[in-house]
């Protein structure tokens, strides 16, 4: 249903409450993630409040610094769909949804964080640098030997854990590990946000939000964005692009396996050739020692 057919917020709420079945696109689609958070300030504020453990009363303003026109196509060169938020005019928060594991997230997220941390205006003292948070929502396990639902990383002393600065923060939320959310994660409602992002049906969304009224606005924004044909098309384009990226990654991995196998075979053949040469030399010497010419 086109967005223009939704006549009022009450009409939209009624239609959302009567929605059933599967969503066309949930918020693990990074385009949908951006559209929902960009179009609904309430959702953005409530999410930041949960993740940063900030009372709503201290959040005076949130401004998205890299807005995208809803439904606007994004070129291949612009396929970085992170959301850069300026909180209260003095703190940068980078929010990013990532569902494909390219085995480079630690370096990639640090690169994003460092670029944003370098925010002192030219000629200004480094003490004017604004604090930065990079918040990754991952639909995979970052460290297989250390699964964690909500991890916070900072620069600290390697010996006694003394904090170097609280201006440089990297948060990782693994959407597939809500089962190991801590009591504090649950107190902040971060596990509920993760479940909302991954919900595939309207029934799931309603169940998640029924005891969490702060998420009602998010649910309605998800419905509104799913009702917009132009946004649907861009979400589909993102899924196609991700599927292509995954295929390319699998093909590259298969080529690397083939090269490794060929290398191993070559080493085996080389070893066999060396062994055969040594055996020929041994037999030749044995013949010569016995006065037999060859």
**Digit-coded pLDDT (tens) for 62-90:** 999 988 877 777 664 445 668 999 999 99
DSSP state of 121: P
Closest CA to 138 of 92, 114, 104, 91: 104
The full length of the chain comes to 294
Q: Tell me the two tokens of residue 190.
A: 């971060």
How far apart, in whole angstroms, are the C-alpha atoms of residue 157 and residue 276?
A: 57
Closest CA to 235 of 21, 23, 20: 23
Residue found by looking up tokens 């640098």 in the block: 129
63: β partners:
86
Sheet with 91-98: strands ordered across: 62-64, 83-87, 91-98, 132-138, 163-174, 150-156
Residue 20's contacts (CB-CB under 8 Å, 6 or more residues apart) are 201, 202, 203
Structural domain spans, the chain: 3-250
Q: Are 225 and 212 spatial neighbours (Cβ–Cβ below 8 Å)?
A: no
Cβ neighbours around 265 below 10 Å, total: 10
Task: For the chain, 294 residues long, give each residue's pLDDT as a single digit of tens.
Answer: 344 444 456 676 778 888 899 999 999 999 999 999 998 999 999 999 999 999 999 999 999 998 887 777 766 444 566 899 999 999 999 999 999 888 899 999 999 999 999 998 888 899 999 999 999 999 999 999 999 999 999 999 999 999 999 999 999 999 999 999 999 999 999 999 999 999 999 999 999 998 888 888 899 999 999 999 999 999 998 898 888 777 777 777 778 787 877 777 788 888 878 888 887 888 777 777 676 665
98: β partners:
138
Q: Which stretch of DSSP H or E encloses residue 10?
A: helix 9-17
Hey, CA dihedral for 62, 67, 70, 74, is it positive or negative?
negative
How far apart, in whole angstroms, are the C-alpha atoms of residue 253 and residue 231?
A: 33
What is the reported pLDDT for 123? Answer: 83
How far apart, in whole angstroms, are the C-alpha atoms of residue 62 and residue 95?
A: 13
* pTM greater than the 0.85 cutoff: no
- Is 104 exposed, middle or buried (CB count within 10 Å of its CB: 0-12, 13-18, 19+)? exposed
């Amino acid at each position: 249903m086109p967005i223009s057919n939704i006549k009022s917020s009450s009409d939209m709420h009624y239609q959302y409450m009567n929605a059933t079945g599967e969503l066309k696109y949930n918020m693990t689609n990074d385009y949908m993630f951006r559209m929902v958070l960009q179009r609904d300030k309430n959702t953005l504020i409530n999410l930041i409040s949960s993740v940063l453990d900030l009372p709503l009363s201290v959040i005076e303003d949130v401004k998205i610094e890299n807005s995208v026109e809803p439904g606007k196509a994004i070129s291949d060169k612009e396929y970085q769909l992170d959301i850069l938020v300026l909180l209260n005019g003095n703190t940068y928060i980078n929010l990013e949804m990532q569902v494909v594991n390219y085995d480079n997230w630690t370096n990639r997220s640090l690169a994003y964080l460092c670029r944003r941390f370098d925010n002192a205006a030219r000629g200004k003292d480094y003490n004017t640098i604004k604090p930065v948070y990079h918040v990754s929502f991952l639909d995979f396990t970052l460290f297989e030997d250390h699964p964690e639902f909500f991890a916070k990383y900072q620069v600290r002393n390697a010996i006694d854990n003394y904090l170097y600065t609280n201006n440089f923060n990297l948060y990782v939320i693994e959407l597939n590990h809500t089962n190991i959310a801590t009591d504090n994660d649950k107190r902040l409602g971060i596990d509920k946000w993760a479940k909302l992002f991954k919900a595939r049906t309207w029934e799931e969304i309603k169940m998640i939000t029924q005891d969490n009224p702060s998420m009602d606005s998010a649910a309605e924004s998800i419905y509104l964005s799913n009702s917009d044909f132009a946004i649907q098309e861009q979400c589909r384009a993102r899924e196609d692009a991700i599927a292509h990226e995954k295929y390319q990654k699998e093909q590259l991995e298969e080529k690397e396996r083939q090269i490794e196998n060929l290398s191993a075979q070559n080493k085996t053949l080389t070893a066999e050739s060396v062994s055969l040469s040594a055996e020929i030399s041994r037999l030749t010497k044995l013949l010569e020692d016995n006065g037999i010419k060859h």
